[in-house]
Each structure stands twice: as C-alpha cells, then as structure tokens.
Structure 1
Amino acid sequence: MKIRIRNYSVSSITGLMAVIVFPVFTFTSLLLYPTPYNPLYSWVSNLGNIYLNPSGAIFFNLGCILSGIIMIPFFAGLYEWKPIKKLSKILLILGMLLGIYASVSLIMVGVFPETHLQQHLLAAAGVFGSLFIIIILLSVALFNHPKFIRLIAYYGIIPIIIDIIFQFISKGNNLLANFQQTIPVPGFEWAAVFTSIAWVGFLAVNMMIKKV
C-alpha cells in the first residue's frame, strides 16, 4: 500500500525535510561557537562538544538525532521505485537497509557527542563508512529506471570520491580522535557530509517531479 501526502511519497517529503533540518541545526550551532571555527581544521562534531561549544552543542546534537529519525522513513520509502530487474531490486534493498543503518548511526552521533569519544567514533564510523556505499548501491539500482534522473547518479560520483578520500586519510593516523588538526582533513568531512545531503535532496526532488 502506498502512503502518500498530497500525492507525494513519504520518502520524497522526508528527504527534503532532512536537507533542511540538518543544515539549519548545524549552522545554528556554528553561529554559537565561541571561538573562531575553520571547517578545514575543525571537525563537524566539534560543534556538538559541550566543552568546546557550550551554547551551541545542543543544536548540533539535536539536529543529528532529528535528521537521523527523518532519514529512516526516507530510506524505507525508497521501495516506491519498484525496479523490475532482480539485481536492481536486490541493490535497492541493500541500499535501503544500509541507509537505515546510517540513519541510526547518525542518531547515535547526537546521543553520544565527542564527550563520549569511543561511542561517538563508533557511531561516526557507521555514518561515513556507509555514505559512499549507499550512493553507489542506489545509483546502480535506479540508473535504468525510466523515472530516474541520471544526472543525480553522475553527481553522486562527487560525494563518493570525497567520502572515500576522507575514509582513507582520516583512518591512517587515527586522526578522528585528534582535536588539534594541523592538516585540513576535517574539510573532507564537511564536504562528504554536505555533498551527500545534497544527493539525498536531489533524489527527493526527483521523486517529487516524477511522482515516484
């Protein structure tokens, strides 16, 4: 049974909601950051550290929790695409499941901010370790669908490459646990986050335009 709101799928609506909610809460937190903040050298999650950002941490952490909750129905609702080929169906389901896992991980990023470092790193690994795989799985699954705008798949190459680079350079020297960065690794984290969010937004708009 299709669940639709004003003839739009739940997935398309929640996808756009996530694209709005996460940046709004993140940049609200950034505006409240008490010291100069450089995205090239400061981790995204520094915003959720109550010791580094006493007034703004609550906004970042709440934004992660709300965005993760919103993203669960987004990924679950991608079944509306209903691809015909068996391989495409399998890839879509895998992408949906991994997307839900990443969404739960994002919730945990907010529940366990940097002040709970080990739990936080585990949750963050769940998000960033999944991003590029999710985009690959869903792009391949939907690529030949008549309602899929292929430009979205081509754009997806950008967050895929950025996330892979970030994974490689950040894990090499355990940089994720280092609060004092001397090389601009966090810049790749910021880029991976927001190019991936944009990809979600494009897919949601695709679903709205094509009435998926």
Structure 2
Amino acid sequence: MPLVLPDLSKVPITGLSGIAAILVFCLFSGISIASYPGGFTPIDMWLGDYGFPDINPAGAAYYNLGSMLTGLLLIVFYTGLYQHSVASPARTSLRTAGQAAGVFSGISLFIAGYLTPAVMPGNLIASYAFFALTFLAIIFLHMAFRSRPFYSEATACMGLASVALIVLLGVTQALASIEPIVAEWCALFALISWIGLTSRDSYRRARGRCHD
C-alpha cells in the first residue's frame, strides 16, 4: 500500500505549529541531554539544568535555542486556535483569554531560552511564568472547548492532567523539603501530549471528520 502524505496546504496552522513545536523541543532537548557529560537523569536533575553552560558546555546552546524556537511556535499554535468556533460569546471570551495566556506562555519560554538558566533571577521568573500562563491557557481553553465535537475526550483528559501536574509542581515547589523534579518532567510530558492531541483535533476538523 503506497504511503499517502497529508496535504500540508490543508493542515491548519495550529496543527502544523503544534507538531513542529513538539519536534523542535524534543530534538534540541535530546541533543542537549546527549551532550551532557553526566548522562540522562530525570530523577535528580531539572530539565532546565541542561541549559546551564557551566555544567553542559557542549549542549546548553542546543537546549536554550530549542526553548526559544519552541516558544515562537507555541505563539503560532495558540494564535491559530481562533479557527475553532465555539458558538457563544461567553465561550469566545474564554477562548480569547486562553489564547492570550498561551501566547504569553510562549513569550515566557522564549525569554527563558534567551536569558539561559545561568541568568538569574530572570530565567527563573520566565520559567515560572511559562508554567503559570500555560495553566491558565489550558483552563480557559478547556472551558471554551469542552463538549465541542472537535475537542476530543482524550485531549480534554490530557489537558486536565497537565493542569493537575502543574498544580502538583507548584505545591511541591513551595515545600522546601520536596524537590518536585519528577513532577516537572511529567508536567512537560503531559503538556507535549496535549499539544499533540490538540494539533490532531485541529487537523481532523480541517479534514471534515468533525464539525464545530
């Protein structure tokens, strides 16, 4: 059976930018992790630690550049959600609020990569802002899109899982005796999954497999 590739001219901007954001983040983070002299360790090392030039001289630039590019792609991803009709003024306002929070989360991620983790407290503030704004973006978009045909049950569940993990990350971060490193990795994995599922839903909607 011949391989049939999708017509990219018919793929919505959210679908393209969302998948591109996942690929860019995973590629550049993977190169950075592979370049780290101490090896891969999600148990006792924050993902952002791979962006420190002092401890990852060969790979920090890849991680920080990947963060900047991913931030730009997330801006496009959230902006493209205007194509989803939500049928009521209240939901439209929620969608707009979610898009705005998402765009600013992308800007925060770009700033975090630009400053690099070695620049404190700027990088730390930008990183906190990224998670906080992502939390708001998913909450608002979930409220705007829930029960709509184009927003699948799997996407909704993964969005709620992302929100729960971000809350867990924030709560454990506030407790000095707990290092929520694993929670950060899990939150990012859930967020990447939600972006991927939302991109898939946008593509299915554009192909006419589901309707507003």
Which structure 1 segments of 5+ residues have no match?
174-181
Output aligned runs, 1:33-182, within 5 Å.
Answer: 33-173=36-176
- Name 1:204's counterpart in structure 2: 199
Q: Give the TM-score of the pair, scaled to structure 1.
A: 0.90
Q: Is it true that 1:188 corresponds to 2:191 in the alignment?
A: no
Aligned-partner residue type, residue 51 of structure 2: G
**Structure 1 residues 168-200: Cα deviation after superposition (integer angstroms, max 9, x where no partner):** 111343xxxxxxxx8541111111112101101
Aligned equivalents of 1:207, 1:101: Cα separation in 2: 21
* 154-163 vs 197-206, greater mean Cα deviation: 154-163
Aligned equivalents of 1:133, 1:40: Cα separation in 2: 27
Aligned-partner residue type, residue 93 of structure 1: T
Bigger relative contact order (CA 8 A; separation at least 6): 1
Q: CA deviation at 1:95?
A: 0.4
Aligned equivalents of 2:157, 2:190: Cα separation in 1: 13
**Structure 1 residues 60-94: Cα deviation after superposition (integer angstroms, max 9, x where no partner):** 00000000111111111100002111111011000
Q: 8 Å contact 1:15–1:201 — kept in the other structure?
A: yes
Q: CA RMSD in A?
A: 1.7
Aligned equivalents of 1:58, 1:85: Cα separation in 2: 45
Aligned equivalents of 1:150, 1:138: Cα separation in 2: 14
Aligned equivalents of 1:165, 1:131: Cα separation in 2: 14
Q: Give the TM-score of the pair, scaled to structure 2.
A: 0.90
**Structure 1 residues 80-136: Cα deviation after superposition (integer angstroms, max 9, x where no partner):** 002111111011000000000000000011011121020001100111112222212
Aligned equivalents of 2:151, 2:23: Cα separation in 1: 22
Aligned equivalents of 1:183, 1:122: Cα separation in 2: 20
Q: What is the number of residues matched between the two proteins?
A: 201
Runs of 4+ aligned residues of structure 1 deviating over 4 Å after TM superposition are none
* 112-121 vs 102-111, greater mean Cα deviation: 112-121
Aligned-partner residue type, residue 157 of structure 1: L
